Amino acid sequence: MISYLLTATIALLAGASELVSRYRDKPHKALLTGPGFFYLFINVTGALLAYYLIHDVFVLDFGLTDQQGVKLEVYRILLAGLGSLAFFRSSLFTVRVGESDVAVGPAGILQIFLNAADRAVDRARAEDRALYVSQTMRDIDFSKAMMSLPPFCFQLMQNVTAEEQAQIGSSIRELAQTTVDDKVKALILGLSLLNVVGESVLTAAVDTLKDDISI
């Protein structure tokens, strides 16, 4: 029973890490959707099935003796947990559909559920994000905020990469060149920063700079 539990834990952590890495403002939300839960279920079920085949069907012993039982169980758990992850992320071949490459095989099936989880989380978060950013960025002057708010947010954080900063900076410069209303630009600026720094940091940054970036 412990071996099955450890095998399931490996698969669960791997699947959860994939989901939470895609939503940095509120990572846990990705785990609370139906498709997200089913995505984890597929990963765990595959790992448990792999362990059953290794332990009870094929009885793999890796050439170890009965006196090395603990070491044998560790090998079986790692092979089942990590092997199933590799299997579900493999593809037999890739087909070009339009401008996208579509994997045919276990990876393609798993990607379907990952995409479904993405859509479910997006829909669940869209309303919350709209309400939050409309309150946080209310009365913020985009032309003032675009110069000071992003670098201040990045300095508050300690792990925003130079690549992420450059990407946000490029997006903001492109946004500034559009004919979109300045109030909407301020909201989009808030959403762009929210994706990287999260709600608490963005709120603190806006409150700190309020006098300098308000309309």
pLDDT tens-digit map of 108-132: 778 787 888 778 778 877 888 999 9
Indicate whether 96 belongs to any domain.
Answer: yes
pLDDT tens-digit map of 5-20: 999 999 999 988 888 8
46: helix, strand or coil: helix
State whether 70 and 8 are in the same domain. Answer: yes
State whether 168 and 115 are in the same domain. Answer: no
| Nearest alpha-carbon partner for 145 in 84, 79, 206 | 206
State whether 23 and 70 are in the same domain. Answer: yes
State whether 116 and 142 are in the same domain. Answer: no
**In the predicted model, is pLDDT for residue 45 greater than 70?**
yes
State whether 109 and 7 are in the same domain. Answer: yes
State whether 168 and 83 are in the same domain. Answer: no
State whether 116 and 72 are in the same domain. Answer: yes
* Domain extent at residue 36: 2-120
State whether 112 and 31 are in the same domain. Answer: yes
Contacts of 132 by beta carbon, 8 Å cutoff, 6+ apart: 194, 199
31 DSSP assignment: G
Q: What is residue 103's predicted lDDT score, i.e. its pLDDT?
A: 61
Question: Average of pLDDT values for 192-207?
Answer: 94
Indicate whether 81 belongs to any domain.
Answer: yes
pLDDT tens-digit map of 140-198: 999 999 999 999 999 999 889 999 999 999 999 999 999 999 999 999 999 999 989 98
State whether 15 and 72 are in the same domain. Answer: yes
